[in-house]
Amino acid sequence: MKYNILTRLRSLMRITIQYACITHCTFEYLGDFVLCKGPSMEPTLFSDNVLLTERISKYWRNYQSGDIIIAVSPVNADQYICKRIVAVSGERIVTQKPHPIEAESVQKPVKTAMTTDYVPRGCVWIEGDNKGNSSDSRYYGPIPLGLIRSRVVCRVWPLSQLSGL
C-alpha cells in the first residue's frame, strides 16, 4: 500500500515537471498571453484586454514600424510595457517633447519645439497611441532591440473585440 502511494507520487511529480517544462518552452519560444494595464495604448487597446503575442520574430528581429510590441521597461526592469514601434533603426523621427508639468498648472499652452533625430543602430523608437498619457521614447529615448520580448498578434479578450492588430 505504501509502495503504491510512493509510485503514484513519483509519476505525478514526473508528469507535473514535464508539463511545466513544456509550458515554459511554449511561452518562452512560441508565444504567450499578456494582460494589458493602463491607458497608454488607447484607443487601440484598453485596460484588461488580453493579447496573444508571438515570440518567433524575436529571432529574426524583423520588426517594422507600426508593430505593437511588449518590451521590458528601460526605467524599471521588473515592468513590461506595451507600445507601438514608430521608427526602426536608420529611420528619421520628428517628435515633440511633452509639455512640462508646470506649464499645465498655469493654463498657458507652451509651444514646445519639434526635434528631428535618427534612430541609432540596434534601437527602435516606441510611442504609445495615447500621445498625451504615455511614457515612452519621448521620455527615455530609443530603446535597444534586446529589450523587446514579443510582438502582439491579436486581441483575444473581450471576445466581442476579437481582432488582429
Partner 1 sequence: MAFRRFAKSLLYALPLGITFLDCVGYVARVDGISMQPVLNPDAEERDYVFLLRWGIHNSAVERGDIISLISPKDPAQKIIKRVVGMQGDVVSTLGYKHEIVRVPDGHCWVEGDHTGHSLDSNTFGPVAIGLMSARAVAIVWPPERWRILKNELPGRRRPIQVAKTSYYN
Residues annotated as part of the active site: 40, 83
> Where would I find the beta strands (DSSP E) of the chain?
31-35, 50-54, 68-72, 80-87, 92-96, 114-118, 123-127, 143-144, 148-157, 163-164
Minimum separation from the CB atom of position 125 to partner 1 (A): 14
Cα distance between residue 30 and residue 88, in whole Å: 23
CB count within 10 Å of CB 144 equals 15
* Position among 31, 39, 65, 72 found at the interface with partner 1 (CB under 8 A): 72
Cell of 18: 514535464
The 3-state DSSP class for residue 142 equals coil
Query: What end-to-end distance do the CA atoms of the chain give, in Å?
Result: 56
Of 98, 87, 97, nearest to 142 (Cα)? 87
Minimum separation from the CB atom of position 30 to partner 1 (A): 12
Name the residue nearer to partner 1 (CB basis): 49 or 123: 123
Q: Does 82 bind partner 1 (CB under 8 A)?
A: no
* Position among 17, 50, 94, 110 found at the interface with partner 1 (CB under 8 A): 17
Q: Does 56 bind partner 1 (CB under 8 A)?
A: no
Q: Does 73 bind partner 1 (CB under 8 A)?
A: yes
Q: Does 9 bind partner 1 (CB under 8 A)?
A: no
Name the residue nearer to partner 1 (CB basis): 22 or 162: 22
Cell of 137: 521614447
* Position among 12, 13, 22, 30 found at the interface with partner 1 (CB under 8 A): 22
Q: Does 74 bind partner 1 (CB under 8 A)?
A: yes
Cα distance between residue 1 and residue 68, in whole Å: 56
Binding site for partner 1 (CB under 8 A): 17-18, 20-22, 24-25, 28-29, 61, 71-78, 120-123, 140, 143-147
